[in-house]
Amino acid sequence: MVLGDSLTWGAGLAIEERYTALTENMLNQAFDDRRFEVLNFGIAGGPTVKERDILLKFKNIVQPDLIVVGFCLNDPQPKEQNYSVERDQLRKSPTGSVIHIITDLMRRAKLSYLSGLISDAFYSFAEKNGSIPTWRDAIARTYNPQSAEWQEFISALETIKNTSDELSLSAPIFAILNQGTFPDRPTDYSNPDEYLTQYLEWYHQAEKAAQNIGFLSYNHEYEIIHQLKNHILAVNILDGHPSAGLNRIYAEKLFSVITEKIIQQP
């Protein structure tokens, strides 16, 4: 049973390209004496607290043999990735309300791309003049260990681990779904730029937290460096979600971890 957000759900990919589907195929090909089902419970925009709720709601129906959490760097934030108090106040201001009405009408008219451009331009201008923080500065607040969001994230992981224990399962898996910093050019994990350096700091903080709780935690930094060094890691130039190639990397490592750490253990 794989929990996650849009990276696990597979935004921009065919179903068979998702890392969950690839892992299922790899397991069934490797062990012809048994049948594996890798069930994808990823939801677009789903933070870890919501993933916990999904597990609690469906665990008795699914009766999982293993729980996997696919982690994205914005998962500790239960609201949207770029949420901040300042942005919320701007959204509710007279000007922000008008922009919201216009962009909402455009989305309903199936002009989603143009709607997004207008919204992005409005908030980008506010960022540049210092009215609101950038999404990176906003997320950084979430990663403060004393923040309410981080404490809720830790609590959600603890509940997932406790649920796994109550079901007498192997340690749940916490997979850092590393991704690129930009959708239009390769991301060099062997020589991180300032943006990737920040991403890695957040990834490592979450990975260590999950490990301390009792998850089997890992990331994909080595694999990206050695297999996708000069590749763009995004679906396309307009969508920064992980590419099909990156999903294969996720699948290969998940398959390896399940095989070596769980199936082949006495």
pLDDT of residue 266: 60
Token reading at 28: 């069934």
pTM here is 0.92
Per residue in 17-51, pLDDT (tens digit) is: 999 999 999 999 999 889 999 999 999 989 999 99
Residue 144 is predicted with a pLDDT of 97
Q: Under DSSP, is residue 236 helix (H, G, I), strand (E, B) or coil?
A: strand
Q: What is the DSSP code (8-state) at residue 184? A: S
- Span 120-149, average pLDDT: 93
Q: Amino acid identity, residue 121?
A: A
Q: Are 187 and 242 in contact (CB under 8 A)?
A: no
**208, two tokens:** 């260590």
**What DSSP designation does 16 have?**
G
Instruction: Quick: pLDDT tens for 64-119.
Output: 999 999 999 999 999 988 888 989 999 999 999 999 999 999 999 988 889 989 99
Q: Cα–Cα distance between 193 and 10 in angstroms, integer?
A: 26
* pLDDT at residue 42, rounded to an integer: 97
CA–CA gap between residue 256 and residue 237 (Å, rounded): 31
Fold of 2-79+145-263: Rossmann fold (3.40.50)
CA separation for the pair 118, 107 (Å, rounded): 11
- Residue 264 confidence class, pLDDT cut points 50, 70, 90: confident
Structure tokens at 209: 């937290």
Q: What is the mean pLDDT of residues 135-161?
A: 96
Joined tokens for residue 233: 């890691």
Q: Give the type of residue at 13.
A: L
Domains of the chain: which residue ranges?
Answer: 2-79+145-263, 85-132
For residue 63, what pLDDT is reported?
A: 97
| Percentage of residues in the chain having pLDDT higher than 70 | 99
pLDDT band at 238 (very low <50, low <70, confident <90, very high): confident
Determine the number of helices (DSSP H) and then strands (DSSP E) in the chain: 11, 6
- Can you tell me which residue has the tokens 């300032």? 194
- Percent of all residues in the chain with a pLDDT value above 90, rounded to a whole number: 87
Q: Alpha-carbon distance 60 to 57, whole Å?
A: 8
Cα(146)–Cα(144) distance, integer angstroms:
5
Instruction: Please report the pLDDT score of residue 116 as a whole number.
Output: 87
